[in-house]
Structure formats: C-alpha cells, structure tokens
A = this chain, B = another copy of it.
Amino acid sequence: MTIRFELLATAGAARRGRLHTDRGTVETPAFMPVGTAGTVKGLAPEEVRATGAEMVLANAFHLWVRPGDELVQRLGGLHAFMGWSGPILTDSGGYQVFSLKAEAKVTEEGVTFRTPFDGQYRTLTPEGSLAIQEALGVDVAMAFDECLEWPATRERTIESTARTTRWLLRGLAARKEPRRTALFGIVQGGFHDDLRVAHARELRALDLDGYAIGGLSVGEPPDELFRMVALTTPVLPSDRIRYLMGVGYPHDLVEAVVRGVDLFDCVLPTRSARFGTLFTSLGKVAIKHARYREDGAPLDPACSCYTCRGFSRAYLRHLFVSNEALSPRLLTLHNLTFYEGLMARIRGAIEQGAEALERVREEARLSVLPLDDGDP
C-alpha cells in the first residue's frame, strides 16, 4: 500500500488520525487547499505550508488540458512543477464533467465533452483519468466517477451508481505497477438511503486505499448532506481514511468530523477571500464594508497569520476596493490559516473528548455569522 491511515483517537464518531505517505504525514482531520491548475491561487508554496496545510488538491482535468500531464511528467512531476514537496491528491475530472453536463455525453466507455479552454472535443475514461493522475505523479488519485445531479430518480441513481462501480473496477485494473499512486474510490448512491449504504458496502469489499463520499453538495438541503454522511461512514472500514469532497463552510467541517470524516477540500476559503469574505474568530467579515474604512485593528485579533500580524483592516479594505493584487493574496492567506487553525483545534478537541469538540463546533458556527451587514 502506497499510503497508510493510522487511527489515533476517537470522540464519538469523530476520528483523530494520521495519513502516512511517501511525501510526509498528514495529521487528520485535515483540510486540503485547492490548487486547481497546480497553484493555490496567489500563494507561494511556502506560504501554503505556513498556513498549516500538509496536503493540497490539484485537478487532473485542468492539468490534462493545460499544460498537459505528459509535459508535467517530463518536467519531473507535479510536485517539482508547482514546488510543493508534500502530498498531493488530484480530482479525477468526474466533478468537472458534472459541471459541464450540458456539453458532456456519458457512455459506458467514458465521457466526451467540449473543453472550455480550447473548444476541442475530448474523451475522458476511467483508465485515462488514472493514467493522467499517475503521469502527474501525485500521491492520491481519485477514481473517475459520475457525479449525479440532485434530485435524481431511483432508477437513474441505480444505473449511474452501478456505472461508477464498473468505472472504479476498470481504474483498479489499469493501475501501473509498481504502484506509486494510491487510488480512492468514491461512494455515490445519490440521496436514496439504501442505495448509498449499498454502494458504500460494495466499495468496502474492494479494500481500497481510501474512501471518498461523493455526489453531495450538489444543490440538496444541508440536512440531507449530513444525513448521507452519517449513513455512509459507519459502513466504511475504520482503518481507511474518509474524504468528504468539496465541503465546505467552517461549521460544515465540524459537522462532518463528528460524523466520522477525516479529510476535506473546498474552494470556499480561497474563493471567498478573493471576493473579500473572511472567516474570523469574531465572525464573518465583508472587508469592503465602510465600517472597516478607518479600522486600525487586525482582521482577526486571534490570528497569527502574516496578514493579521502586519496589516490593518483599513489597509486590507483599501487594497480590496483598489483592486490591488496584494488583496486576494493577503486575504487568501488569512482564510486558509483560519481553516487550517480550525482543523488543528478540531484535532486537539477529539483528543480531549466530546465536550471540547462541542466548543469547537460553537466556534465554527460563530465564524460564519456576519460581523457587519455587508456581503459582497
């Protein structure tokens, strides 16, 4: 096995663990910053590391289209290319196909679609997606799956989930030897309880390197998401990492952790930062708000990131309204530091027990309550 998950402690369903990889250890529960095109937007790799992040996510689909996985491979792999020496996980492209749905045609073979960048028709298959991820040389590849829309009929869900399983088996069969890249399967099954549990059982039987919970956060009510997570995690093997894809707000992370999730990624902290929305220990800040115009205080007095150490809210607001390049960078640095700090507190709380975890839950809820009345 190319990676190994070690379970250190639990508090209820919450798990404190460690993901061991050839490129270093990731303390879990962990949050992976998103670096779609081989860069966490605006940040240098050393800054990403300074936020506390130990593992990042990149996107196989995007890197395949531009600059090309083979080019990256010839240049020594994605780690060298982007200057990140820690573990990297790549999205398989399944979700991108979902978001391009109108332009994509799904067959048993794979998905054919028109690429947004160059308008060319391309086909992505389970074998192709895995080969791309192996060529990139990442530590964890995601299986190529079909991400279902919400709502989907029982019939459509059965058909799609069965195809996702067949695609996973094709991916497993296509793995290059010796195995340098771990492969995570993705539990689908839509929002039909029995189908989701059944799919988790099927995947469990395959003894995979890790398990993702997919097909969530696609427009369903938030309660449904957590209900699906709570249904799925008990079925998964306790000695494998569990990854909830594309979630979410600070409080969502805690809600998922208390339901047994170990690993996260989401564009929220980075994208929100670019739009001037910051998560802080005092609440959610819309930095363009007039109340920060002469505010000499740091963005978050409880934060020790470079942004909060060196600059006032007034200066950050000035950079934001002036559309200065330093703005998204300083704000992204803060939001990621906030997320990674939250994960560290979650990890500490699990070691201390359920009560401590409840306090972090409250803290996370507070961080998304508006501190002002403005939302960009």
Q: Chain A interface (Cβ within 8 Å of chain B)?
A: 37-39, 41-45, 66-67, 71, 74-76, 81-83, 293-294, 296, 306, 310-312, 314-315, 317-319, 321-322, 324-326, 328-330
In the complex, which residues of chain B have a beta carbon less than 8 angstroms from the beta carbon of A326? 39, 41-44
Contact residues of A: prevailing secondary structure: loop
B314 x A67 contact (CB < 8 A):
yes
A300 to B37 alpha-carbon distance, docked (Å): 24
B41 x A82 contact (CB < 8 A):
no
5 A-B pairs, CB-CB below 8 angstroms?
A37-B322, A38-B315, A42-B325, A71-B314, A74-B294
A293 x B42 contact (CB < 8 A):
no
In the complex, which residues of chain B have a beta carbon less than 8 angstroms from the beta carbon of A324? 37, 39, 41
In the complex, which residues of chain B have a beta carbon less than 8 angstroms from the beta carbon of A312? 75, 81
In the complex formed, the residue of B with least CB distance to A328 is B325
Q: Are A66 and B321 CB-contacts (below 8 A) given A83-B310, A311-B83? A: yes
Counted per complex, copies of this chain come to 2
Q: Are A314 and B75 CB-contacts (below 8 A) given A42-B325, A325-B42? A: yes
Q: Are A67 and B293 CB-contacts (below 8 A) given A37-B322, A75-B312, A81-B312? A: yes
A80 to B315 alpha-carbon distance, docked (Å): 10
A83 to B326 alpha-carbon distance, docked (Å): 12
Closest beta carbon of chain B to A15's beta carbon, Å:
34
A71 to B318 alpha-carbon distance, docked (Å): 11
In the complex, which residues of chain B have a beta carbon less than 8 angstroms from the beta carbon of A325? 39, 41-42, 325, 328-329
A315 to B314 alpha-carbon distance, docked (Å): 35
A317 to B81 alpha-carbon distance, docked (Å): 11
B311 x A66 contact (CB < 8 A):
no
A82 x B315 contact (CB < 8 A):
yes
In the complex, which residues of chain B have a beta carbon less than 8 angstroms from the beta carbon of A83? 310-311, 315
A57 to B338 alpha-carbon distance, docked (Å): 33
Q: Are A71 and B293 CB-contacts (below 8 A) given A83-B311, A321-B66, A325-B42? A: yes
In the complex, which residues of chain B have a beta carbon less than 8 angstroms from the beta carbon of A42? 325-326, 329
A306 to B83 alpha-carbon distance, docked (Å): 11
A119 to B24 alpha-carbon distance, docked (Å): 55
Given contacts A37-B324, A325-B329, 16 further A-B contacts (CB under 8 A): A38-B318, A39-B324, A39-B325, A41-B326, A42-B325, A43-B326, A44-B310, A44-B326, A71-B314, A74-B294, A75-B296, A75-B312, A75-B315, A81-B314, A82-B315, A83-B311
A310 to B46 alpha-carbon distance, docked (Å): 10
In the complex, which residues of chain B have a beta carbon less than 8 angstroms from the beta carbon of A322? 37, 66
In the complex, which residues of chain B have a beta carbon less than 8 angstroms from the beta carbon of A38? 315, 318
In the complex, which residues of chain B have a beta carbon less than 8 angstroms from the beta carbon of A315? 38, 75, 81-83
Q: Are A66 and B318 CB-contacts (below 8 A) given A41-B324, A294-B74, A294-B75? A: yes
Closest beta carbon of chain B to A35's beta carbon, Å:
10
A312 to B37 alpha-carbon distance, docked (Å): 15
In the complex, which residues of chain B have a beta carbon less than 8 angstroms from the beta carbon of A81? 312, 314-315, 318
In the complex, which residues of chain B have a beta carbon less than 8 angstroms from the beta carbon of A318? 37-38, 66-67, 81
Closest beta carbon of chain B to A305's beta carbon, Å:
12
In the complex, which residues of chain B have a beta carbon less than 8 angstroms from the beta carbon of A328? 325
In the complex, which residues of chain B have a beta carbon less than 8 angstroms from the beta carbon of A45? 310
In the complex formed, the residue of B with least CB distance to A66 is B322
Among A38, A43, A81, A318, max chain B CB count under 10 A is at A318
In the complex, which residues of chain B have a beta carbon less than 8 angstroms from the beta carbon of A67? 293, 314, 317-318
